[in-house]
Amino acid sequence: MSIIKRIAIFGSTGSIGTQALEVIAANPTLFSAEVLTAYSNDELLVEQALKFNPNIVVIGDDKKYHKVKEALAKTTIKVFAGEDALVEVAALNCYDIMLAAIVGYAGLRSTLQAIECGKTIALANKETLVVAGDIVMQKALENKTPVIPVDSEHSAIFQCLVGEGRNKIEKIVLTASGGPFLGKKPNYLVNVKRDHALQHPNWSMGAKISIDSATLMNKGLEMIEAKWLFDLKPEQIQVVVHPQSIIHSMVMFEDGSIKAQMGLPDMKLPIQYAMAFPHRIPNTFPRYDFRKPNTLTFEEPDLRTFRNLVLATEALFKGGNLACVMNAANEIAVFAFLHNRISFLDITEVVERTMNKIAFIEAPTLEEYFDTDGEARSFAASLIKL
Ligand code: NAD
Ligand code: MG
């Protein structure tokens, strides 16, 4: 690579965002950070801005605008605040690649804006595709916008597909670690608390995705993400539990040959791959060593215990606005669980009841997706009495 790629990190203070900045810091001749955004962590945003000297920072929570503005007064960094500013900045010419690393539905509008402006998208924010994958991918096609996955499973599949041209996929196998409660049954899960659910065995991630991994909703969201990213039929997507998280996912082609992408679990690798694509660049991350004693195992997910995966499969097959409903209810339920308002098993209960309640729309417009999200959030919140 000869020209510096200018990166906009939407969600720079999160788990993905901070790791992306580590990749940028390690490769100053390849990447520069031009836009940094955060929702409420103004202190970290300012610290990052002073270190990386971006063009622009955006603080989502506009109450914190003056604090950020004051802290950066001696610099030339432009400061914006509020939800709409995220969308406006996504349209600017000061960057080439958006790393979409905001968590949840909140990342949808800015990512859509960047797609419409033909920016390359390094996509961590899986909820964008779960909510409105048909519209998002259609817009990417119309604007010739590359969408490169950052989610480790989807990065693995993307990497397996490089060089395969039009060769047909028979199916993809998404690997799941199983999360902190692998092998546990409902009589155990009924009592689990927030801090325990946040302890993922293999990955250190933001709070929401950590809970989604514990409930297996994360894998459900990833099935839907894969459907849109790789234009697959629901029946081509299989989930297998692989507790070691060394194989990040696999593609089986129509001749039965299987390609897998492997490595130690470290999100910096898929982040770096998405930002540097189509190149691979060297790094000093720890390497997997086949000579050390190791066993790679695979098993079926326990669908009787982790019913979120059944609900997500229903959304995957039925399409329409059902995945959008599921996602909204899940965001509300996970938030409530993180604030000790509902129990671990209630999360699935809230999602299921909301999916049964909200009117189904076969082929929603973007406006209808926005409305569906709002209705599903209100109904889910009414179940919890938030
Ligand atoms: P996180 O909670 O650590 O960080 C989220 C970021 O989004 C923060 O910078 C926060 O300020 C910002 N944000 C939160 N709410 C916002 C709002 N309403 N408006 C604007 N900005 C807001 O999350 P994370 O773990 O980094 O995950 C980010 C995304 O990447 C998620 O969609 C997640 O599913 C996906 N992902 C994460 C990992 C991982 O290892 N962490 C792996 C694969 C995919
Ligand atoms: Mg993943």
Write out the chain's pLDDT in tens, 386 residues.
558 999 999 999 999 999 999 999 999 999 999 999 999 999 999 999 999 999 999 999 999 999 999 999 999 999 999 999 999 999 999 999 999 999 999 999 999 999 999 999 999 999 999 999 999 999 999 999 999 999 999 999 999 999 999 999 999 999 999 999 999 999 999 999 999 999 988 888 999 999 999 999 999 999 999 999 999 999 999 999 999 999 999 999 999 999 999 999 999 999 999 999 999 999 999 999 999 988 999 999 999 999 999 999 999 999 999 999 999 999 999 999 999 999 999 999 999 999 999 999 999 999 999 999 999 999 999 999 75
What pTM, to 2 d.p., does this model score?
Answer: 0.98
8 A C-beta contact, residue 250 and residue 260: yes
**185 and 138 in a common domain:** no
Give the pLDDT confidence score for residue 386 in this predicted structure: 59
Q: What are the angstrom distances between the C-alpha of 239 and each of 57, 153, 224? A: 39, 11, 12
* Backbone phi and psi for residue 81, each to the nearest 5 degrees, phi listed first: -140, 155
* Backbone phi and psi for residue 214, each to the nearest 5 degrees, phi listed first: -70, -30
Residue 40, Cα to own-chain centre: how many angstroms? Answer: 19
Question: Is 222 among the domain residues?
Answer: yes
**314 and 207 in a common domain:** yes
- Residue having the nearest C-alpha atom to atom 9 of ligand 1: 11
Question: Is 334 among the domain residues?
Answer: no
Question: Is 344 among the domain residues?
Answer: no
Instruction: Look at residues 96, 127, 149 and tell me which one is the last residue of a structural domain.
Output: 149
Mutate to test the pocket of ligand 1, among 209, 212, 216, 272 (most ligand atoms within 8 A of CB): 209
**74 and 140 in a common domain:** yes
Give the pLDDT confidence score for residue 284 in this predicted structure: 96
Give the pLDDT confidence score for residue 1 in this predicted structure: 52
- Residue having the nearest C-alpha atom to atom 23 of ligand 1: 206
**15 and 44 in a common domain:** yes
Considering every ligand atom shown, identify the ligand nearest to the alpha carbon of residue 200 and give its number: 1
Domain that holds residue 264: 154-318
Ligand 1 binding pocket, CB closer than 6 Å: 11-17, 38-39, 41, 60, 101-103, 106, 124-127, 151, 203, 205-209, 267
**166 and 105 in a common domain:** no
Tokens of 271: 């982040």
**198 and 89 in a common domain:** no
**280 and 134 in a common domain:** no
Give the pLDDT confidence score for residue 272 in this predicted structure: 98
Give dist(CA 37, CA 81) in Å, integer: 9
Of ligand 1's listed atoms, the one at least distance from the Cα of 124 is 30
**96 and 45 in a common domain:** yes
**177 and 56 in a common domain:** no
* Backbone phi and psi for residue 265, each to the nearest 5 degrees, phi listed first: -70, 110
Of ligand 1's listed atoms, the one at least distance from the Cα of 104 is 32
Of ligand 1's listed atoms, the one at least distance from the Cα of 38 is 11
Q: Count how many residues are written for the chain.
A: 386
Considering every ligand atom shown, identify the ligand nearest to the alpha carbon of residue 59 and give its number: 1
Alpha helices in the chain (DSSP H): 15-26, 42-52, 65-71, 83-90, 108-116, 127-142, 152-161, 186-189, 194-197, 207-215, 217-230, 268-276, 308-318, 322-338, 344-357, 366-384
Give dist(CA 41, CA 255) in Å, integer: 50
**192 and 174 in a common domain:** yes
Instruction: Look at residues 268, 285, 318 and tell me which one is the last residue of a structural domain.
Output: 318
**178 and 106 in a common domain:** no
Q: Please tell me the total count of domains within the chain.
A: 2
Considering every ligand atom shown, identify the ligand nearest to the alpha carbon of residue 157 and give its number: 2
**314 and 183 in a common domain:** yes
